[in-house]
Structure 1
Amino acid sequence: MNTTRRQFLRDAAGLAGVAVVGGALSAEADPQDPPGAKKFSISLAAWSVHRLFFDGKLKQIDLPKLTREEFGLDGLELVNNFFPAPTFDYCNDLRKRAADHGVKILLIMCDSEGDMSHADAAVRRQAVRNHRKWLDAAALLGCHSIRCNFGNAAPGDAEAIRRGAESFAELADLAAADKLNVIIENHGGLSSDADSLMKVVAAVNKPNFGTLPDFGNFPKEADRYDSICKLMPAAKAVSAKCYAFNDAGDETTIDFARMMKIVLDAGYRGYVGIEYEGPTDELAGVKACRRLLERFQ
């Protein structure tokens, strides 16, 4: 990142009254240290409203207002595909809107940026380069992390783990320069096998590299609770995936009481992001998940 951007980051911190660094490299903005006395804080994963976005009824620039005024939340997780472009001016505007609404932009979920474990080294190098613009955007927005995908490898592929670890080690070093984390979600393929993903974490072996455990995104044969338990020691964020709720307000697919006990027993005290993926009204789904999570705060 050039000097102009670094100066902007220092100025932005003063204007917004918030830290623009994050992750394990900064105690001030560490995702393990949420404000207040609650056991954890609740954030909105922007993917929860993806149908509104793709239907043209919502723009990302308005997400801070929606997060605060519609849902009463103070944390927001962005999706790279919702950006018109990660330009300096756009990120500056989005950061100011978030500050105006008292919302922290926590991370950017990055999709469609290449296979970090591909057998072709040139493809892997390009994938690393593709993520650099999101590191810049995350730093400008005051995030603690970017979330990446591992690639298309199958679970247990030792060579893919080795290749992916090399790519992510390089990306983590780039992220460390701006005090950012690089995290991987269980998001299909090898990454949805907890044992394989934790082998990647061990191979990378960097303090700013970890996981984003998602309550969903596991194959049917996997024990989701055991898998989350395995991923939590490296967690720097958590996604509370939800699909449907019964009349009592419980999620009908996932035992949230069991999941949140695993999360809290692991010592996690950061933001838990609502990620609604049900077929019905997105706003109502987010609110139902918020009410459910509040039981465990």
Structure 2
Amino acid sequence: MKNYFSVLLLVLVLAGCQPSKTENMEEKKELKISLAEWSLNRAIRGGQMSNLDFPRVAAQEFGIYAVEYVSQLFPDDTTDKGYLQQLIDSCDRYGVKSTMIMIDHMGNLGDTTETARKQAVQNHMRWLDAAAFLGCESVRVNGNGFGSVEAVTAALVKSMTELGDEAKKRGLMVIIENHGISMPDGSWNFNSFSSNGKYLSNALKETNHPNVGALPDFGNFAEYDRYQGVKDLLPYSYGISAKTFEFDENGEAIQTDYKKMFDIINASDFDGWVGVEFEGDGVSEYEGIKKTKALIEKYWKP
């Protein structure tokens, strides 16, 4: 009997010294692909499909079961719950998840005029409510303003802190995309505050809010190096907008070296949604989406 317990004790000790299967296996990051609605903006604006068709098209045409809405593609800028319920019903029908609403034209969150800044924050509230109703994880906002870097940063930190507090109540993230700004003459300028990775990452660091993050877009860094910009924002990134414009004969993106970009992403601990966003006109929107999805799948390494 004594020998039996000695052997049993030895077995237990040796078993305790062995690494578990979990410890032997490296954690693998799951590739989560979503479809940015802007990829189909021409079809929607041209009447070939509607915002309500978006979940069906994502699932049936592209095999993508997560979608990112764009506020300006909602008819009449509506956030009516009856309409939103139709979107939920469409998602349920096709097994699609609503991940995000990209909010545009609601004012500059980095506006250095306090009255305008506060109004911009207030303008976003109904879209936070809409995103929560749809079961989204986040809303995308624009973090720009006119003025010195210091002044815009201070205004943006205020706005993002206020929106982050509201997002927390709704179980949402508020994420900033490097994006352009509407100029006083009505033109669009991509060379804005948020398109500088250093400026935007510093503002996010200063905000330091658990419900505030970033959505780096491959194509919107303007004069700032896009690879460095993604590096700057990855520590704060809740999602990635994998934008394409044109493709070469091998199906590679012309404007962005996808291997180089995904080497940077793969080396990080990012594990959020990777959004397909085609914005070119050399091929159809459908073909551009398929080519972009193929590139993501090619270069993502778990």
- Structure 2 length as normaliser, TM-score? 0.83
- Partner residue of 2:55 out of 64, 67, 90: 64
The match for 2:110 is 117
Larger Rg: 2
* Greater mean alpha carbon deviation, residues 264-273 or residues 68-77: 264-273
- The one-letter code matched in structure 2 to 1:290 is K
Cα distance in 2, alignment partners of residues 61 and 127 from structure 1: 27
Structure-to-structure mapping, 1:181-260, within 5 angstroms = 181-188=173-180, 189-220=192-223, 222-260=224-262
Check conservation: 1:42, 1:73, Cα contact below 8 A: yes
Cα distance in 2, alignment partners of residues 232 and 212 from structure 1: 9
Cα distance in 1, alignment partners of residues 257 and 151 from structure 2: 35
The match for 2:121 is 128
- The one-letter code matched in structure 2 to 1:262 is I
Q: CA deviation at 1:38?
A: 6.2
Check conservation: 2:91, 2:97, Cα contact below 8 A: yes
The match for 2:130 is 137
- Partner residue of 2:169 out of 177, 200, 205: 177
- Partner residue of 1:275 out of 274, 277, 290: 277
Q: CA deviation at 1:119?
A: 2.3
The answer for unaligned runs of 5 or more in structure 2 is: 1-27, 181-191
For these two proteins, the number of residue pairs brought into alignment is 259
Question: Aligned with 1:114: secondary structure?
Answer: coil
Structure-to-structure mapping, 1:47-62, within 5 angstroms = 47-62=38-53
Residues 164 and 110 from structure 1, CA distance in 2 versus in 1: closer, same or farther, beyond 3 angstroms? same
Cα distance in 1, alignment partners of residues 83 and 261 from structure 2: 37
Check conservation: 2:112, 2:145, Cα contact below 8 A: no
Cα distance in 1, alignment partners of residues 221 and 198 from structure 2: 12
Deviation by residue 1:217-257 (Cα, 9 ceiling, x = unmatched)? 1123x221111111100000100010111221111111111
Matched, 1:146 2:139: yes
Question: Aligned with 1:295: secondary structure?
Answer: helix
Check conservation: 2:99, 2:135, Cα contact below 8 A: yes
Deviation by residue 1:182-214 (Cα, 9 ceiling, x = unmatched)? 010000210000111011111211011010000
- Partner residue of 1:99 out of 79, 83, 92: 92
Matched, 1:89 2:92: no
- The one-letter code matched in structure 2 to 1:198 is S
Cα distance in 1, alignment partners of residues 231 and 141 from structure 2: 20
Check conservation: 2:145, 2:152, Cα contact below 8 A: no
- The one-letter code matched in structure 1 to 2:271 is R
Cα distance in 2, alignment partners of residues 151 and 224 from structure 1: 18
Deviation by residue 1:4-34 (Cα, 9 ceiling, x = unmatched)? xxxxxxxxxxxxxxxxxxxxxxxxxxxxxxx
Check conservation: 1:114, 1:151, Cα contact below 8 A: no
Check conservation: 1:107, 1:143, Cα contact below 8 A: yes
- Structure 1 length as normaliser, TM-score? 0.84
The match for 1:261 is 263
Cα distance in 2, alignment partners of residues 137 and 217 from structure 1: 26
Cα distance in 2, alignment partners of residues 80 and 226 from structure 1: 29
* Greater mean alpha carbon deviation, residues 205-214 or residues 263-272: 263-272
Deviation by residue 1:43-82 (Cα, 9 ceiling, x = unmatched)? 1100001111111212000000000000111110000011
- The one-letter code matched in structure 1 to 2:160 is F
Report percent identity of matched pairs: 37
- The one-letter code matched in structure 1 to 2:73 is F
